[in-house]
């Protein structure tokens, strides 16, 4: 049986930095939309209600609402919280409705993320009820968030898994004991790096076809622009046996796709005894019965070895989608960022993956306007990106984090120039996506249905991360099957489809394979 190896304390906390590939408003906005579609349930109670007093309930059931900002790990944590409270009898309410508890899982990866986090806390306060601030900004600046009117609790990242139980105890009026003291207003461990992986309980009922499974937290990298290791700590992995147990539970609850999330998922297993690797985990998860798809979070390219690509390619359940943060296509800028690869290495990873996995969608994060980035270096990045077989870009403007080394590098790029460079690369990203869509025109892809999309239409995702809208006039599509849909480009981010059938051919387990050409010479 594997055990957690305690993450070691960093010898010099001021020198610990890492990237998760989320640095600007564009990505935060897109993830915020995803959060809204999937779990956003921010509630409002009577204005002016004392946050230490639970408002009266008309239904007799306690109510809870949440909002997650930033990364998919934050989203998964809130999904787990909601599942735990729903199992205990709580009602999840959407934004704009009264709620006894509102939990905001904050983000601090950029200045904009800080501002958004405070804004959502104030919106929750204006609604009344008990407001809980948790997440990375709560970990970084707990006193500042506690000073916001109406915030009842500030809960750190390491303490977050206990939040559901604390809410239950507070509502039940459970007395404090020496073993279970009352929750203080600020509950933040100032040094999370000594802890093991903090796991969350889950719900018992699958309400969607896709689930997220957090397998890793923290990071050991030292990028000069990122504050995340200070608030997430050193890398910790969910042990293999516990990961398999949770995956089986999710599939047994009705989920057919599991997205593996973390802060730096490529580090999974390095802190375990015995040491493991991410491909080891994928090999094990591929044996879970009735799991149709496994989706990976972003992978830092320095960890992706050729042997990884070979092992990824052999699993039909693995979604044909990789997100590989680049940040810059210029070697000098990468060195100033303290990124441990160069453009040649990055290109080799992308090209080998595309060769090994047909129709693979590869996406990249790019950070523009980093201190000292010249016009020529930016042009090198643009040309480098244009030369790669990428499917999309996530583009961010550099945002100063005062607790990181980057602002001390000097040669600040003016904000207007950052915006110009960001706009240029966003246009390039659109062109790359259109090019990728054209490659898939006329092919048949397998779509996991998610929900209605207007009159007589449904929508879902292909394994290579394309949202497809297709006609459906019958009863609700079977939630545990993949639909074969012929796709055509229709917009910047979506494709339309024509249903071929709802019966999978070939592998009776339902495992997806590469798309099937409709005609001779169709794109592959």
**DSSP state for residue 97 in the 8-state scheme:** B
Quote the pLDDT of residue 190: 67
Q: How far apart are CA 240 and CA 189, in angstroms?
A: 26
* Res. 9 pLDDT band, cuts 50 70 90: very low
What span, in angstroms and rounded, lies between the C-alpha atoms of 173 and 425?
54
Query: Using CA atoms, how far apart are residues 218 and 73, in angstroms rounded to an integer?
Result: 11
- Highest mean pLDDT, choosing among 1-5, 298-302, 473-477: 298-302
Sheet holding 293-296, edge to edge: 210-214, 257-261, 293-296
If you ran DSSP here, which 8-state letter would residue 301 be given? G
- The pLDDT, as a whole number, for residue 392 is 96
Q: Give φ, ψ of 227 to 5 degrees.
A: -100, -5
Among candidate residues 366, 368, 367, the one with its CA nearest the CA of residue 417:
368
Mean pLDDT, the chain, as a whole number? 81
Q: What is the pLDDT of residue 96?
A: 62
Q: How many Cβ atoms are within 10 Å of 43's Cβ, its own excluded?
A: 26
Distance set, CA 44 to CA 64, 160, 166 (Å) = 10, 22, 20
pLDDT in tens, 138-190: 999 999 999 998 899 999 988 898 999 999 999 988 655 444 445 668 988 86
pTM for the model: 0.80
Burial 456-467, CB ≥16 within 10 A → b, else e: eebbbbbbbbbe
Residue of 151, 157, 186, 181 whose CA lies nearest to 169: 181
Domains and CATH numbers, the chain: 18-189 (3.40.50), 210-439 (3.80.30.20), 441-517 (2.40.50)
Q: What confidence tens digit (pLDDT) does each residue in 194-253 have?
A: 456 666 655 434 456 788 899 999 998 889 999 888 888 889 999 999 999 999 999 998
Answer whether 103's CB lies under 8 Å from 84's CB: no
List the beta strands (DSSP E) in 73-180: 91-92, 101-106, 130-135, 151-155
Q: How far apart are CA 65 and CA 446, in angstroms?
A: 34
- CA 116 to CA 238: how far, in whole Å? 30
263-321 pLDDT, tens digit per residue, is 999 999 999 999 999 999 999 999 999 999 999 988 999 999 888 999 889 899 999 99
Highest mean pLDDT among 205-219, 431-445, 474-488: 431-445
Q: Is the pLDDT of residue 44 over 60?
A: no
Locate the DSSP E strands across 250-386: 257-261, 272-273, 293-296, 321-323, 361-368
Alpha carbon distance 295, 293 (integer Å)? 6
CA separation for the pair 309, 53 (Å, rounded):
54
**Closest among 474, 487, 475, 480 to 450, alpha carbons compared:** 480
Q: Contact at 8 Å (CB) between 468 and 454? A: no
pLDDT digits (tens, 9 = 90+) for 63-76: 999 999 988 888 88
**CA distance to 23, 25, 115, 264, 405, per residue, from 112 (Å):** 9, 6, 5, 22, 19
- Confidence at 515, pLDDT banded by 50, 70, 90: very low
How is residue 461 annotated by DSSP? E
């Amino acid at each position: 049986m594997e055990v957690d190896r305690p993450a070691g304390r960093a010898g010099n906390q001021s020198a610990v930095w890492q990237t998760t590939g989320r640095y600007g408003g564009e990505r935060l906005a897109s993830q915020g939309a995803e959060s809204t579609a999937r779990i956003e349930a921010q509630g409002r109670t009577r204005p002016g209600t004392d946050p230490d007093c639970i408002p009266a309930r008309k239904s007799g059931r306690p109510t809870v609402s949440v909002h997650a900002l930033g990364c998919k790990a934050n989203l998964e944590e809130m999904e787990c919280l909601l599942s735990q409270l729903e199992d205990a009898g709580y009602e999840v309410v959407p934004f704009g409705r009264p709620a006894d508890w509102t939990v905001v899982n904050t983000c601090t990866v950029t200045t904009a993320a800080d501002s958004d986090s405070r804004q959502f806390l104030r919106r929750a306060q204006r609604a009344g009820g008990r407001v809980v601030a948790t997440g990375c900004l709560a970990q970084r600046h707990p006193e500042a968030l506690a000073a916001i009117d109406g915030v009842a609790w500030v809960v750190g990242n390491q303490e977050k898994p206990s939040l559901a139980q604390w809410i239950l105890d507070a509502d039940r009026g459970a007395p404090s004991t020496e073993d279970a003291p009352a929750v203080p207003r600020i509950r933040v461990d100032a040094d999370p790096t000594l802890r093991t992986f903090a796991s969350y309980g889950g719900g018992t009922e699958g309400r969607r076809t896709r689930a997220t499974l957090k397998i890793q937290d923290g990071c050991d990298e030292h990028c000069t622009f990122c504050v995340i290791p200070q608030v997430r700590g050193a890398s910790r992995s969910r042990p293999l046996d516990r990961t398999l147990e949770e995956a089986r539970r999710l599939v047994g609850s009705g989920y057919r796709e599991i997205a593996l999330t973390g802060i730096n998922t490529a580090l999974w297993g390095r802190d375990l005894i015995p040491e493991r690797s991410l491909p080891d985990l994928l090999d094990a998860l591929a044996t879970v019965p009735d799991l149709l798809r496994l989706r990976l979070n972003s992978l830092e390219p320095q960890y992706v070895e050729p042997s990884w690509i070979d092992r990824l390619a052999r699993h039909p359940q693995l979604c044909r989608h990789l997100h590989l943060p680049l940040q810059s296509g210029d070697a000098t800028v990468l060195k100033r960022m303290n990124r441990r690869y160069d453009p040649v290495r990055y290109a080799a990873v992308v090209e080998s993956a595309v060769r090994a996995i047909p129709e693979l969608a590869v996406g990249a994060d790019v950070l523009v306007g980093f201190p000292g980035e010249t016009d020529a270096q930016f042009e090198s990045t643009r040309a480098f990106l244009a030369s790669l077989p990428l499917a999309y870009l996530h583009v961010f403007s550099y945002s100063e984090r005062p607790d990181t080394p980057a602002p001390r590098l000097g040669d600040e790029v003016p904000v207007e120039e950052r915006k110009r460079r960001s706009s240029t690369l966003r246009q390039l990203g659109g062109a790359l996506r259109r090019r990728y869509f054209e490659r898939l025109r006329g092919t048949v892809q397998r779509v996991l249905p998610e929900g209605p999309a207007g009159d007589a239409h449904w929508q879902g995702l292909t394994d290579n991360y394309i949202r497809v809208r297709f006609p459906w006039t019958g009863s609700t599509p079977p939630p545990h099957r993949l639909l074969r849909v012929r796709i055509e480009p229709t917009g910047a981010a979506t494709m339309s489809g024509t249903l071929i059938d709802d019966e999978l051919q070939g592998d009776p387990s339902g495992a997806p394979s590469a798309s099937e050409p409709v005609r001779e010479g169709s794109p592959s």
